[in-house]
Amino acid sequence: MRIRTEHLFFCYEGGRPAVQDISLDIPTGTLTVLCGVNGSGKSTLLRLLADLAQPSSGQILYDHGKKTDYKTAEAVSMVFQQPETQLFAGTVHKDIEYGLMERGVSKEKRTEIIAGALAKTGLAYDEFAGRSPFLLSGGEKRRVCIAGALAVQPGLLILDEPTAGLDPQAAQALLEMVQQLRSSGLTLIIGTHDLDSFLPVADKVIVMKQGAIHYNGPAPALTADPGLLADAGLTPPVYASMGRRAVQHGLLEAVPDNLEELLIGLEKHPLPMPQTDRWPAGTGASARSSAMSPGNQNTKTSEQHSAEYSLKGTWKRDHSPRSSRTERVQTIIRPGNPRLEQNTPRRPGWQGLDPRAKWLGMILGSLVLLGMNTLLPLLLTAGLLAGLAASARISWRRAFRFFRPFLLMFLFLWLLSGLSWSSPDFALGPLSLSYAGLVRGGINVLRFLLLIALGFLFTETTTGAPLREGLEWGIAPLRTLGIRTRNWSLAVSVTLQFVPWILGKLAQLQLALGSRGRRARGVARWSPRQIALIIVPLLILVLGMGDELATAVESRGYDPAKQRTPVYQLRWSRRDTLAALGILAVAAMLWWVARIS
Amino acid sequence: MIRAHNISLSGREGQHRRTVLQGINIHIEPGEWVALTGANGCGKTSLIRSFNGLNTPSGGSLSVAGLDLRLPENRMAVKQHVQLVFQNPEAQTVGSTPFEDIAFGLENRGLERERMIARIHEILQQVGLSHKAEAEASTLSGGERQRLAVGCCLALEAKMIIFDEATSMLDPEGRSDILELAQGLWQAGTTILWVTQRMEELAASPRIAVLGKGQLLYDGSPRSLFYTSELPENLGWLPSPAVRVGKLLQKQGWPLHLLPLTGQDLEELL
């Protein structure tokens, strides 16, 4: 499939363009390597090409001739860097089947197609089809993702960092697989940092720099010019930098296009052997003496070790072309921040309020909210919370991003509670609804939304440590009952940090799901079916995360039985008393309004 | 620092446990840099977690920083000496800001507050995160999170830091940041165990240990591993470009001690 783009621009909400003025022409059956440092717009461009994001301006033309039956953008498959956020189903078979079902491929044909796609990625159907994709190794997961992308017979396959995190054998096998796919006529675009591996096999290389195209052309012309990659912050492949030096020394005539060419060149024109030993005396000799066969290496004494490994300090001491770590550190440190140098970081405004006052507001607010059965107090509370959020300077965009996942679910619940078959007041398509039910349901839904809003407000204005200490203070009396309160407060504060992480993973899962089937946009991404597909992988991610975090907590010497000295000191000031009184007064008023209305 | 004698380790595989490593002997002296490698699932992680008391060997004797880890009470004490930086940057930030995250380890040590705060700022500066002391953890990049994780090891004044494929999920810049940070610590005397799958990082290490088939297949210098042992070939490793050039030079009669291991060595040849 041939892809052309014309003056593509993409801006994230309110930011400067992430990609700008991209005009490309990628011919059918070619392998294009896309590279650039992080933040160069590489990933954004890949998403635009996969039609997973809409350009702010400009257009993409997919020129697929007559062969494909699919809608244009759906002839593009994309595989993302982390396989964990792209696998959904209980078995490999079902996982790959998803894309086929989305495209209406009949059931009889599916098994054959799935087996074919797995075979292309080097996995045997009989061995893998029934296994859970979540329990495979990293390399195997990556292959299943690619098989899922291939099964739908895409005209274009986009791979983002396909070798990241793979062991050397898996990475090598993946490189070979990519070459096979290319020779089968598939058009490929690969975003990667691994220039040594991918440049030699690329038909064309696109280098991105600050959102724009820095270079677009064949790999040899790129590697022959030392400035091109360096300007974009990239390190040239070893064969190119070595080759260029060899050219300068008159050993080679031209910079080689791959490692093999370099080796052939150096075979014909051997390097001059250095006259002096650059390596510390004895290293080579002892290295030779330690050349033992595998398996019986464990008999050396420590003296031998220290003699053999006396390299310390010589190794890569002058390795970095950049300024040293300390210099770099110095440049980014702000001059003394008086607030930080005080005892406890005391933050302005809402952040600075004692967490106990906020906990009080949170608990009282929740209780009062639960007792509200009419619209008026709920609306009052909503107004109050909105005012508080504004005064805490929480941006609307941030709040919206937080609430978005809940909205459709609540809308659905609301409609559900309005359904009435016995005494309908009006009909909405096939559904018959009653006003009374809608009001009742609406109040319930609003109440829950406000409870979530209260929690959101609390966590947005309180970081983990104060939140933990405030809670710890409140539940400390339970310690006399033998309850490990410290475990509880730690668990709560760590769990609350999960929220932004979960939202991030959710977005990744949705993107991956979108690349497998229909490009769902807007509310369609929150349909019950999409949510049902995402829930299992999300749970697996959350459980894995919980396990890893627990290990990290244990590894850092956390012992619930031991005395800790919290860095955050609870300090109740007059401002906190005023806030607590205010909270009590407002809660009482809202409770009263809820009673009388 | 580490004296592992004939240890066995079992790992979880689904419901049942199986022995993943058997008869492992490895000694690591204070101040050494050792690279550890092996295919995915070979038991690397089980082994290194046993070094800071997160796992217990099912057989053999293991002493770390002079503490016999067969005794349960030492498994908590050893964390004072040996710290881990894990692979996943997202799964090791316990605090909600870098400040609070580093504080967490110090709080566990029971340091007094004034000293703790001064120490936190010192460490943030050391790992280059002073300007982000109060940033939300979720806004940190992968490289910044790993630097923060190193900071947490420093907070506990670890004499040895184990990097469990700590750079594998990072981009090249984040990777070289962490590598530089680790090298700085090593040159200041910290013992480093660097677990990696990357050939360049292996070749640059003064000592390499290779795990496979449930045992230690190799423990020695990089030159003898890449230029005289058949192990890399048997394991199906693709040698790094520097080693491939080195093999050619070896064929042309260069002595072992002149053969290049890293891209840097290679550049110095010309």
ipTM score assigned to the predicted complex: 0.86
Tell whether A132 is covered by a domain.
no
Look at residue A348 in the predicted model and tell me its pLDDT. 55
- CA A165-A166-A170 angle, to 5 degrees, is 170
pLDDT in tens, B240-269: 889 999 999 999 888 988 899 988 888 888
In this structure, are A437 and A564 located in the same domain? Answer: yes
A420 lies in a domain? yes
Q: What is the mean pLDDT of chain B?
A: 89
**pLDDT attached to residue A309:** 38
**What pLDDT does residue A272 have?**
84
Say yes or no: A460 and A566 in one domain.
Answer: yes
Tell me the fold of B2-238. Answer: Rossmann fold (3.40.50)
Q: How far apart are the C-alpha atoms of A154 and B117, rounded to whole Å?
A: 56
Range of the domain at A260: 238-268
Tell me how many domains chain A contains: 2
B33 touches chain A (CB under 8 A): yes
Mean pLDDT of B142-151: 93
Interface test with B, best of A35, A142, A163, A167 (most B CBs within 10 A): A167
Task: Output the six-digit token pair for A554.
Answer: 């244990």
Task: Give tens-digit pLDDT for B55-75.
Answer: 888 889 999 999 999 888 888
Residue B270 clears pLDDT 80, i.e. is over it: no
The pLDDT assigned to A379 comes to 92
Is A574 within the bounds of a domain? yes
Nearest to A38 among B173, B254, B256 (CB): B173
Instruction: Name the range with the highest mean pLDDT among A165-174, A279-288, B89-98, B223-232.
Output: B223-232
Q: Do A395 and A263 reside in the same domain of the chain?
A: no
Does residue A202 belong to any structural domain of this protein?
no
Instruction: Decide if A178 is inside a domain.
Output: no
Chain A positions in Cβ-Cβ contact with residue B92 (cut-off 8 Å): 548-549, 552
pLDDT for residue A342: 39
Mind giving me the DSSP string for chain B?
Answer: -EEEEEEEEEEEETTEEEEEEEEEEEEE-TT-EEEEE--TTSSHHHHHHHHTTSS--SEEEEEETTEETTSHHHHHHGGGTEEEE-S-GGGG--SSSHHHHHHHHHHHHT--HHHHHHHHHHHHHHTT-GGGTTS-GGGS-HHHHHHHHHHHHHHTT-SEEEEESTTTTS-HHHHHHHHHHHHHHHHTT-EEEEE---HHHHHTSSEEEEEETTEEEEEE-HHIIIII-SHHHHTT----HHHHHHHHHHHTT--GGGS--SHHHHHHH-
- Does A379 lie in the same domain as A264? no
Q: Count of A–B CB contacts within 8 Å?
A: 293
Give mean pLDDT, residues B206-218. 92
Q: How confident is the model at residue B12 (pLDDT cuts 50, 70, 90)?
A: low
User: How sure is the predictor about B37, in pLDDT bands with cuts at 50, 70 and 90?
Assistant: very high
Q: Which of A37-46, A272-281, B135-144, B226-235 has the lowest mean pLDDT?
A: A272-281
Could you give the C-alpha distances from A16 to A5, A9, A41, A60, A211, in angstroms and in order? 20, 10, 11, 21, 10
A559 contacts on B by Cβ (under 8 Å): 76, 108
Minimal-distance CA residue of chain B relative to A544: B91
Greater model confidence, B85 or A561: B85
Tell me the whole-structure pTM to 2 decimals.
0.82
In a domain, A393, yes or no: yes
Mean pLDDT by 10 residues, chain A (597 residues): 88 80 91 91 90 87 58 76 86 91 86 91 90 85 90 90 81 88 92 91 94 93 88 89 88 88 89 64 37 36 38 39 38 36 50 87 91 88 91 84 81 83 76 83 89 89 86 86 82 81 86 76 67 85 88 84 81 89 93 87
A438 and A573 within one domain: yes
Question: What was the pLDDT predicted at A304?
Answer: 40
pLDDT attached to residue A427: 78
Task: Tell whether A429 and A577 lie within a shared domain.
Answer: yes
- Whether the pLDDT of residue B150 is over 80: the answer is yes
Residue A219 lies in a domain: no
Q: Is A566 on the interface with B (CB under 8 A)?
A: yes
Q: Is residue A592 part of a domain?
A: yes
Q: State pLDDT tens for residues B154-198.
A: 988 899 999 999 998 888 888 889 999 999 999 999 999 999 988
pLDDT at A319: 37
Nearest CA in chain A to B86: A552
Specify whether A259 is located in the same domain as A406.
no
